[in-house]
């Protein structure tokens, strides 16, 4: 089985014949071989192996034990894989090699089938490691983006809440101002305009205009009634009941209310009973008009 020609292998062995054979085999498998020249040293190895993917190290060199090189190699090239070659595959040597960070070991005389298999496994593991690191980097990047978006959304949400609170306060202020204005207008009409019209109506010299004056008074009262905001008292009543209650408060009798609203007297009486019931006026001796005068139909603040 062959690999892509982008993977390099550094060979360290004092047997030049073995190095030559390994070099040829690696080339045939599409690896890029490099043989470390003598004299062997860890310094030379690190200097000449910057782009190495895999190291093939003979355990015993004339002046060095390459097992001791492995930790330094792994510190300098974390993604590389180290495969040791030994003619003395004792348990202690293998354990030390693995503990120091070796990926695999091959026993001499070498089986090139096993070597090929070991090299390909090392390359596959390197690819998986790179993919995992890339995935981890992508996850961290995406996590950072999500956190940034979350912070932006929280900021926007807070801004929206502030805006909503501001609009709510503005609406309340506008409603309060509107209520105040309507109350002042209502009070002026009820305390000034309507009494003035009533005084004019009582003038015998203007008796011929009494009907027209009554119409004007009723129209003004209707306008005031329709413009007044409904408070908790009138909110318990229907529109028809609230209108009847307003007319009762003004002193109109059931007959007068019936004529004013163009309904029967019985209908007005039914409304009166419903109003008393909804306002919890249980004593039939209590005056509905007196009760309504104590609790005005217009909103107060």
Does the pLDDT of residue 121 top 90, yes or no? yes
pTM, to two decimals = 0.50
**Every domain of the chain and the residues it spans:** 8-110, 175-294
What is the rounded distance in angstroms from the CA atom of residue 57 to the CA atom of residue 61?
9
Check whether the bond before 39 is cis (ω within 30° of 0).
yes
What is the band of 235 on the pLDDT scale with cuts at 50, 70, 90? Answer: low
pLDDT, the chain, mean:
85
For residue 246, count CB atoms less than 10 angstroms from its CB and return exposed for 0-12, middle for 13-18, buried for 19 or more: buried
Are 10 and 54 in contact by the 8 Å Cβ rule? The answer is yes
pLDDT at 295: 61
DSSP 235: G
Kindly compute the dihedral angle of the four CA atoms of residues 245, 250, 280, 233, in this order, to the nearest 10 degrees. Answer: 70
Which residues lie across from 34 on neighbouring strands? 10
pLDDT at 299: 38
What is the band of 175 on the pLDDT scale with cuts at 50, 70, 90? Answer: confident
Are 59 and 93 in contact by the 8 Å Cβ rule? The answer is yes
pLDDT digits (tens, 9 = 90+) for 30-85: 999 999 988 888 988 898 887 899 999 999 888 888 999 999 999 999 999 999 99
Q: 252-289 burial string, b = 16+ CB within 10 Å, else e?
A: bebeebbebbeeeeeebeebbebbbeebebeeeeeebe
Q: Phi and psi of 237, rounded to 5°? A: -105, 155
Are 252 and 265 in contact by the 8 Å Cβ rule? The answer is no
pLDDT digits (tens, 9 = 90+) for 246-265: 889 888 999 999 988 888 99
DSSP 189: I
Nearest to 59 by CA among 27, 104, 23, 12: 12
* Mean local confidence (pLDDT), 192-210: 81
CATH fit for domain 8-110, picks 3.40.50.2300, 3.30.420.40, 3.20.20.120, 1.10.10.10? 3.40.50.2300
């Amino acid at each position: 089985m062959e690999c892509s020609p982008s993977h390099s292998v550094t060979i360290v062995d004092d047997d030049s014949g073995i190095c030559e054979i390994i070099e040829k085999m690696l080339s045939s498998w599409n690896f890029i071989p490099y043989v470390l020249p003598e004299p062997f040293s860890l310094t030379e190895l690190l200097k000449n192996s910057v782009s190495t993917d895999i190291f093939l190290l003979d355990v015993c060199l004339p002046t060095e034990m390459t097992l001791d090189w492995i930790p330094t190699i792994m510190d300098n090239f974390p993604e590389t894989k180290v495969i040791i070659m030994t003619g003395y595959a004792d348990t202690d040597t293998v354990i030390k090699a693995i503990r120091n960070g070796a990926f695999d070991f091959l026993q001499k005389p070498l089986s090139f089938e096993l070597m090929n298999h070991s090299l390909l496994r090392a390359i596959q593991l390197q690819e998986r490691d790179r993919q995992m690191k890339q995935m981890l980097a992508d996850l961290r990047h995406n996590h950072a983006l999500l956190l940034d978006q979350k912070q932006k959304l929280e900021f926007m949400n807070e801004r929206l809440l502030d805006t909503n609170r501001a609009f709510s306060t503005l609406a309340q202020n506008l409603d309060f101002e509107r209520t105040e204005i309507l109350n002042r207008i209502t009070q002026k009409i009820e305390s000034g305009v309507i009494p003035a019209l009533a005084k004019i109506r009582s003038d015998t010299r203007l008796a011929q205009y009494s009907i027209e004056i009554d119409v004007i008074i009723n129209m003004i009262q209707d306008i005031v009634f329709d413009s007044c905001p409904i408070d908790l008292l009138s909110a318990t009543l229907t529109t028809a009941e609230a209108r009847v209650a307003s007319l009762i408060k003004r002193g109109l009798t059931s007959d007068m209310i019936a004529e004013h609203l163009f309904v029967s007297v019985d209908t007005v009486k039914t409304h009166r009973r419903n109003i008393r019931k909804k306002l919890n006026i249980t004593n039939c001796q209590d005056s509905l008009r007196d009760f309504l005068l104590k609790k005005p139909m217009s909103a107060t603040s």
